[in-house]
Amino acid sequence: MADEVGHLPRRPGRMLKAARWSIQGLVAAWLHESSFRLEVYLFVLLAPLAVWLGDTPVERVLLLGSMILVLSVELLNSSIEAVIERYGPEFHELAGRAKDMGSAAVFVLMINVLATWGLILIPRLL
């Protein structure tokens, strides 16, 4: 939730509230978004591989970070879809376009994961 009065410094209580809202968002995504759950399962499966296969800290960060970006954008995409569904069930061209573009953003990052993993790992196989 936004500050009611300007940009107040973050005190511990306010930081705990912000953390609680973030956790509520993660729980909501887990409960209501099958795509998010699938991407979390893949992350849990691939994260240990990323740590093991990355030769340098930079490679590990790239391998892990590319997957974390997918999760982050999936959360944003789900929030866009939730707002559109809240607005109304009837079809609207702009609503469809917004949902399609959110999905495309996740797709582009999945391609980024494949490219990152491929560019780091394929040269080792050749």
What mean pLDDT value characterizes the chain?
91
Is 100 assigned to a binding site? yes
Rounded CA gap, 99 and 86, in Å? 13
Rounded CA gap, 45 and 67, in Å? 11
Is 103 assigned to a binding site? yes
Is 7 assigned to a binding site? no
For 68-107, the pLDDT digits (tens) are 999 999 999 999 999 998 887 788 899 999 999 999 999 9
Is 85 assigned to a binding site? no
Rounded CA gap, 23 and 85, in Å? 22
pLDDT score at 69: 98
Write down the catalytic residue from 39, 74, 85, 93: 74
More confident residue, 59 or 10: 59
pLDDT band at 118 (very low <50, low <70, confident <90, very high): very high
pLDDT score at 63: 98
Q: Of the candidates 39, 114, 44, 119, which has an alpha carbon nearest to the alpha carbon of residue 73?
A: 39
Average pLDDT over residues 54-63: 97
Per the CB < 8 A criterion, the answer to whether 35 and 74 are in contact is yes
pLDDT score at 8: 65
Q: Of the candidates 71, 68, 75, which has an alpha carbon nearest to the alpha carbon of residue 24?
A: 75
Torsion of CA 116, 37, 30, 92, to 10 degrees: 80
pLDDT band at 14 (very low <50, low <70, confident <90, very high): confident
Q: Is 85 a catalytic residue?
A: no
Q: Give the chain's domains with CATH numbers.
A: 34-125 (1.10.287.3610)
The yes-or-no verdict on residue 52 having pLDDT over 60 is: yes
